[in-house]
Homo-oligomer: A and B are copies of this chain.
Amino acid sequence: MALEKPAETQYPIHDLIRRRWSPRAFAGRPVEPEKLGSLLEAARWGASCFNQQPWFFIVAKQDEGDSFNRLLNCLVEGNRAWAQRAPVLMLSVAKLTFDEGGQPNRHALHDVGFAAGTLCLQATALGLVVHQMAGFDMGKARETFRIPEGYEPVAAIALGYQDEPGVLSDKLQAKERTPRTRKELSGFVFSGTWGNRAAFLKSK
């Protein structure tokens, strides 16, 4: 059975957001091209600064072979151990400058993150899971996929259908079963001035 880890919340949230998490146990089942299209379509409709849409995705399907292995080889070893099971790997890339004028776009990575968020929730809606990774070799990824200057590889992404934790090594199974944790709302929601607990928050 695939492991579920619904968020324990103080305020109700939509089921898609509550159920989304980042498992490591992927099933061999391939992802239907139509569903893959829906994930990227969801990213496409993210919000962005001056509608620059600074998000780009390199997609490597396991059944395509070569480019999947090249992307896998960009990951740090700890991630490769489980991400090799994922039927699809992706790399998100940010365009760092504005299309017109070429000035730096301070919100490029932010907007890629927004698009990644809609992509992940679309995945949950389709019964898929996504795990984003910071642990990859940025220079190697740039070289491998000929990512031009002015664009920055942001995150490696594993996605597919979820499998039971038992397919993982003991060490990774333990990670998989670790409860999800988050700061209290009062630790990051302020009003009036920095660090000041927002008055509208319920006391826990």
A residues contacting B by CB (< 8 A) are 7, 9-14, 16-18, 20-22, 33-34, 36-38, 40-42, 44-47, 49-51, 53, 55-61, 64, 66-67, 106-107, 109-118, 120-122, 125, 132, 134, 145-148, 151, 154-155, 180-183, 185, 188-194, 198-202
What are 23 A-B interface contacts by the 8 Å CB criterion? A9-B41, A13-B122, A14-B42, A14-B121, A18-B45, A20-B47, A36-B200, A37-B185, A44-B182, A47-B116, A56-B190, A57-B188, A57-B190, A58-B194, A59-B198, A107-B154, A107-B155, A110-B112, A110-B113, A112-B113, A117-B117, A147-B194, A148-B194
Q: A22, B38: Cβ atoms under 8 Å? A: no
A110→B48 CA distance, assembly (Å):
12
Is B14 touching A59 in the complex (CB atoms < 8 A)?
no
Measured CB to CB, the closest approach of chain B to A162, in angstroms, equals 15
Contact B146 A189 (CB under 8 A): no
Asked if B9 and A45 sit within 8 Å, CB to CB, the answer is yes
- Rank and list the top 4 A-B pairs by shortest CB-CB distance, nearest first: A117-B117, A113-B113, A110-B113, A11-B37
Min Cβ gap A125→B in Å is 4
Alpha-carbon distance A202/B113, docked complex (angstroms): 25
Q: Which chain B residue has the least Cβ–Cβ distance from A88?
A: B200
**Which residue in B7, B44, B61 is a CB contact (below 8 Å) of A185?**
B44
In the complex formed, the residue of B with least CB distance to A40 is B189
A45 to chain B: which residues have CB within 8 Å? Answer: 7, 9, 13, 17-18, 20, 180, 182
Which residue on B lies nearest to A121, using beta carbons?
A: B121
| Chain B residues whose CB sits within 8 angstroms of the CB of A194 once the complex forms | 58, 145-148, 151
State whether A17 touches B110 (Cβ < 8 A).
Answer: no
If A57-B188, A107-B155, A117-B116 touch, whether A145 touches B193 (CB-CB below 8 Å) is yes
Partner of A53, one of B14, B107, B188: B188
